[in-house]
Amino acid sequence: MKNWIKRGIAVHIFIILSTAVQGQDDLLELLNAQEEPETSFTIATFKSTRLVSGHSVETNKKGDLQFLIGHRFGRINSGWRELYGIDNATIRFGFEYGLTDNLNIGIGRSSFQKTYDGNIKWRFLRQKYGAEEFPLTATWVSTMYVLANEFPNTERENYFNQRLSFNHTLLLARKFGKLFSLQLMPTVMHRNLVATEQDENTVFAMGAGTSIRLTGSVRFNVEYHYIFPNQIASPVGGEDVTNALSLGVDLETGGHVFQLHITNSRGMTEKYLVGETTGVWGDGDIHFGFNVSRVFTTKKHKKIP
């Protein structure tokens, strides 16, 4: 009998104590049980819509207008008289606009060959985690280029469509943890006018890039484009065409992203990166360059009252 009472009291005390001590955790469990499983999209795979000179999978949000301005200087091995290439800059400026969070359009103009470009960019798959998972983000970007410089050969009859080039790139990217992102860029480049019959009008290339987070605001990026062999025969500007390799750093300060890089390509669009890059890293044909990107918000989220 005594034992029975003792045991009863012990159980009793235990129940009272456990409700008192675990009360808050029980409440939290109650809240967790009410929650529906969440799916989250991976954000900020890259800092900007450009990795270095080529596109990243990132798009501008709906209503965001991005102003991009880029410079590529001359080669650092051009010597002191040229201030190591600083005297000889090419420039591209452009605007990109988010029609939706996933669909962007853009225009731009490069001083080199006086080229106008227009692009459409569609992020059609997004990496996500939680209740639903998907391993990567996929973005398609198509660009059209119009060269507005003098025709190279004015003796013959020239047509407007000789000025046109087209690029199509599929961007596939995955963010691993918060520190490291990887991107593959299979690319098709079509030039309506090429130098000789030995040059393919349509050039296939494979790009690869990575972004490594150093701090919340600073990242290190690498971008490389490999052109499959036997497609380009003619030299450009007297030099053989090479594969573009670029190293860059992103500095993000709120609305601005500053991207500083060194590269063997002067191209700020795929047309030059793939098929018109002639610098050789080992020979010191390295260009210093930068992009500055500023985002203007034209449509604000509605305030929650």
Partner 1 sequence: MKQLLILSFLLAQSLCVFSQKYITQSGTISFFSEAPIENIESTNNQVSSVINLENGQLVFSLLMKAFVFEKALMQEHFNEKYVESEIYPKAIFKGQIQDFDNMELSTTPLDVTVIGTLTIHGESHEITNVGQMYFDENNRIRVNSKIEVALDQYKIKIPSSVQENISNTIAITIQMEYEKLD
Interface residues toward partner 1, by CB under 8 A: 5, 8-9, 12, 15-16, 19-20, 23-25, 27-28, 30-32, 34-35, 38, 40, 42-44, 61-64, 101, 178, 215-217, 251-255, 295, 297, 300-301, 303-304
Q: Where are the strands (E) in the chain, listed by range?
A: 39-41, 64-75, 90-98, 103-110, 115-125, 128-130, 137-147, 164-176, 180-191, 202-213, 218-227, 244-253, 256-263, 287-297
Q: How would DSSP label each residue in 62-95? A: TTEEEEEEEEEEEEGGG-GGGTTTTTS-EEEEEE
Please check whether residue 208 is in contact with residue 186, taking contact to mean a CB–CB distance below 8 angstroms. Answer: no
Cβ proximity to partner 1, 11 vs 148, nearer residue = 11
Please check whether residue 121 is in contact with residue 55, taking contact to mean a CB–CB distance below 8 angstroms. Answer: yes
In sequence order, the β-bridge partners of residue 191 are: 165
Instruction: Kindly state the smallest distance separating residue 67's Cβ from partner 1, in Å.
Output: 13
Please check whether residue 75 is in contact with residue 85, taking contact to mean a CB–CB distance below 8 angstroms. Answer: yes
Instruction: Kindly state the smallest distance separating residue 128's Cβ from partner 1, in Å.
Output: 11
Instruction: Kindly state the smallest distance separating residue 104's Cβ from partner 1, in Å.
Output: 13
- Using DSSP's 3-state secondary structure scheme, residue 163 falls into helix
Reference 178, options 42, 48, 55; nearest CA is: 42
Enter the tokens of residue 238: 């007297």
Instruction: Kindly state the smallest distance separating residue 298's Cβ from partner 1, in Å.
Output: 10
Instruction: Kindly state the smallest distance separating residue 174's Cβ from partner 1, in Å.
Output: 14
Instruction: Kindly state the smallest distance separating residue 54's Cβ from partner 1, in Å.
Output: 21
